[in-house]
Amino acid sequence: MTAGPHPVHVHGAAVSMSWADRTKSLTDLIFDGVTAALADAGIAMDRVESVVLAAHDLIDGRSLSSMVTSPAAGAYLRDEIRLADDGLAALSLGAARIAAGEAEYSVVAAWGRASEGDPVAASRAAMDPFLVQPLGLGEIDVSAFRCTRWLATYPDRAGDRAASRRQRTARAGRNPRAHGGAHPLPYPLTDEDGPAWADIVAAAIIGRPPAPVRIAGIGHGTDLPSVGERDLLGMPALRAAAEAASAEAAIRIDALDLYEIDGMTLADEALALEALGLCAPGAGFATYAEADRVNRSGGSAAGWCYPAMGLVRFCEAFRQAGGRAGTAQHPAPVRTALATGSAPIGGQTQTAVILDAR
């Protein structure tokens, strides 16, 4: 243990998406994903002292799933902690370990295999067993409630949704890492609003040594547990997380070059723009359609499975900041970017990270 806090830099990242690949076990997918991130960073595993993971037992289909999966992520005789939380929360903890001087480099990895686990069923199991579970409600229904709330508040802007759907689908089509399939959605969501279900592994290599992209700010937010008591449009947890990251980075949220916003559906992503103050109330869908610096990756339309998604958004932002997002790359220089990560249910906890490549 040495002195802290230290600056934290991003050295490499990788995102892999697939669907029901019968040639790969879950541990194969994890090993391949972490190996790709190490290769991207140009760092051998023997230089890594810390592993922080985000994975969920009910998605992985076994209790204490990290027993079997953590070694595939490099946790062999290494300091490792697994969060049952969103991947961006794991990134935040990994960054704290680096900042504290506890490790030179850390692997941060998160995954979810929607073709084997069932995120919808798992989220239903997180609802109140007496009052809500009998109704069959889950994570995706909270997203539908959010959209319904917005439609009730801004009925004259319902037409904005079509353009944002088209844009998001087009962006996902340009993302070389995109993959996934459809799932039935509750009203008022349509197929084009939904996530593309995928088997996903995201991994990042962060460390103390200087690199072109640094983590400039991190923030967390926590909302009320009861969905009925929440401000579904105001999203106070997301706003608090982003404001904390913004204050730490000393960069205004609306002054950033790029935004990778985590949400299960288009409604969550687009309405987050309103909550973050990036557009006027009611203009979320329109702004999503017009602003080409929002979810260049295509967001959840390019692949989705809890709990990997906050780290996927981070990896996409990192690639944009390094000018390495391929056909999804923004034409203008991306020097600063915000990535957010949302945890169940309906974003009760949120993490925000600001990257700085200046």
Partner 1 sequence: MREAAAIIGVGQTVYRKRHADKNTAELVREAVLAALGDAGLGLDAVGLVVGGVAPDALAGINHLDMTSVARPGIPYFRVNTGGATGSSAVLAALSWIAAGRCKVALVVAVERMGHAVTAQRIFNSIFDPIYEKDISLSTISMVALRATMLMQRYGYTMEQWAGLAARNASVSHLNDTIDEPRTFTAADVLRSRVLAWPIHSLEACPTSEGACAVVIAAASAVGERRAAWIHAARGLSDTYAMGDRISRPEGSLVDLVTLQRSGAQAYRDAGITDPLAAFDAVEIQAPFASSEAMAYMALGLCRPEDGPAFVDLAIEGRAGIAINPSGGPQAVNPVSATALVRIAECAQQVRGTAGRRQLDGIRRAIATGQGGATQFSTAVIVAQDKP
Residues binding partner 1 (CB under 8 A) = 1-5, 51, 57-58, 61-64, 66-68, 70-71, 75-85, 89, 92-93, 95-97, 99-102, 122-123, 125-126, 128-129, 218, 220-226, 240, 344-345, 348-349
In the bound state with partner 1, the residue whose beta carbon lies nearer, of 2 and 327, is: 2
Q: CB of 156: closest distance to partner 1 in angstroms? A: 33
For the bound state, the minimum distance from the C-beta of residue 46 to partner 1, rounded and expressed in Å, comes to 15
Q: Minimum distance from CB of 275 to partner 1 (Å)?
A: 16
Nearer to partner 1 by Cβ, of 62 and 166: the residue is 62
d(CA 288, CA 161): 9
- Apex CA 77: angle with CA 72 and CA 79, to 5°? 90
Return the number of the residue (4 or 333) whose C-beta is nearest partner 1: 4
Contacts of 156 by beta carbon, 8 Å cutoff, 6+ apart: none
Q: What is the dihedral of CA 279, 281, 285, 286, to 10 degrees?
A: -60
Q: In b/e form, how buried is each residue of 32-56, taking b as 16+ CB within 10 angstroms? A: bbbbbbbebbebeeeebbbbbbbbb
Residue 287 neighbours by CB distance under 10 Å:
18
Which one, 224 or 250, has the nearer CB to partner 1?
Answer: 224
The distance of closest approach from Cβ of residue 14 to partner 1 in the complex, given in angstroms and rounded to an integer, is 21
- What's the closest the beta carbon of residue 195 comes to partner 1, in angstroms? 19
Cα–chain center distance at 238? 12
Residues shown for the chain: 358
CB of 62 to partner 1, least distance (A): 5
Q: Which is nearer to partner 1, 193 or 356 (CB)?
A: 356
Closer Cβ to partner 1, 45 or 81, answer by number: 81
d(CA 106, CA 104) in angstroms, rounded, equals 7
